[in-house]
Amino acid sequence: ATPMSIMVATGRGAHAGVLIRDAEALERLAKVDVLVVDKTGTLTEGRPSLTEVVPGALPESEVLALAAALERGSEHPLAEAIVAGAEARGVEAPEARDFAAVTGKGVTGTVGGRHVALGNAALMEDQGIAPGDLAARAAELQAEGRTVMFLGVDGAPAGIVAVADRIKDTTAEAIRGLHEAGIRVVMATGDAEPTARAVARTLGLDEVRAGVSPEGKGALIEELQRGGRSVAMAGDGVNDAPALAAADVGIAMGTGADVAVESAGVTLVRGDLTGILRARRLAEATMANIR
Ligand code: ADP
Ligand code: MG
């Protein structure tokens, strides 16, 4: 493409809220076969809110108090949901000590002399805690698309907190358009498989990879690239940076983390996935002009 036609295309993109880094990103966008999308903050709003507190060995109010005590130390969107949820329900969070965040799994610490852990099934396994009776309730909530976190206290399953995150209004339309353009759409998320499947089902995604670490998202891109397919990745978080960098085209949500934007060739300013379709049409038109 000529420098002029590229300038026109990137200018039009910018006007529509789609920032295209350079000619290479534009060219690659026209050739994409597969799009990998992160769930939280990309398909969904990324502003989860607390929906259920399930008592286990401890009563509901104590489950929420201990969960909020730990999450006060975390900057994860899930943490904000729990802290805000506790406040809204008038539950006071005690002081936590020895706070530690376990990436992709959850948080741990000491509250009132008790060892407390909050996170996914993998974190509970690390802590030597079997969910017991809570497993069935967790599965029910996950089937409704909830993100479920187990609370473990001194080695015992104490309860569950669950949050919901709305799917963005524009997501379904974007997926339909991508399919019409012949692009396969694969979800990659750190969340649990049943939750991921529940969200994917309503959107008609082609494939779901759940329980994926940040490095795992990068490895997935490389796996899909084998056989010569051109793979784009759309994500918003720090945990998406390796995948955004590995992809043929990295697409960042402008509403997400700075590091995601820095790793990407395309930025969707308002975090609206339909921008990918707009950008692809621009790319195709620009490339068609030079052939
Ligand atoms: P995602 O890909 O959805 O952004 P992450 O890789 O950040 O997810 O986290 C994966 C899972 O680890 C979450 O679904 C949650 O179960 C657990 N987790 C991570 N951080 C926290 C936290 N601060 N509190 C509770 N659970 C957490
Ligand atoms: Mg995300």
Residue 41 CA: which ligand 1 atom is closest?
4
Name residue 265's amino acid: G
Please, are residues 199 and 43 in contact by the beta-carbon 8 Å criterion? yes
Q: Residue 59: left (phi > 0), alpha (psi -120 to 50), or beta? A: beta
Taking the centre of ligand 2 as the mean of its atom positions, its distance from the CA of residue 255, in whole angstroms, is 11
Q: Residue 55: left (phi > 0), alpha (psi -120 to 50), or beta? A: beta
CA angle 220, 223, 226 (to 5 degrees): 150
In this structure, what token pair is assigned to residue 162? 């669950």
For the stretch 263-288, pLDDT in tens is 899 999 999 999 999 999 998 888 88
Identify the bridge partners of residue 49 per DSSP, sorted by sequence position.
164
Distance CA 99, CA 78 (A): 16
Residue 79 CA: which ligand 1 atom is closest?
23
**What does the pLDDT profile of the chain (291 residues) look like in tens digits?**
788 888 888 999 999 899 999 999 999 999 999 999 999 999 999 999 999 999 999 999 999 999 999 999 998 889 999 999 999 999 999 999 999 999 889 999 999 999 999 999 999 999 999 999 999 999 999 999 999 999 999 999 999 999 999 999 999 999 999 999 999 999 999 999 999 999 999 999 999 999 998 899 999 999 999 989 999 999 998 889 999 999 999 999 998 888 888 889 999 999 999 999 999 999 888 888 765
Nearest residue by C-alpha to atom 27 in ligand 1:
106
CATH superfamily ID and name for 49-164? Calcium-transporting ATPase, cytoplasmic domain N (3.40.1110.10)
Nearest residue by C-alpha to atom 12 in ligand 1:
105
Please report the DSSP string for 197-232 in residue order. HHHHHHHT-SEEE-S--HHHHHHHHHHHHTTS--EE
Q: How far apart are the first and last CA of the chain?
A: 8
Give the domain 3-45+167-290 fold.
Answer: Rossmann fold (3.40.50)
> What are the E-state strand segments in the chain?
18-20, 34-38, 49-55, 96-102, 106-111, 114-119, 147-153, 156-164, 184-188, 207-209, 231-235, 249-253, 266-268
Domain locations in the chain as residue ranges: 3-45+167-290, 49-164
For the chain, the helix, strand and coil percentages under 3-state DSSP, each to the nearest 5: 45, 25, 30
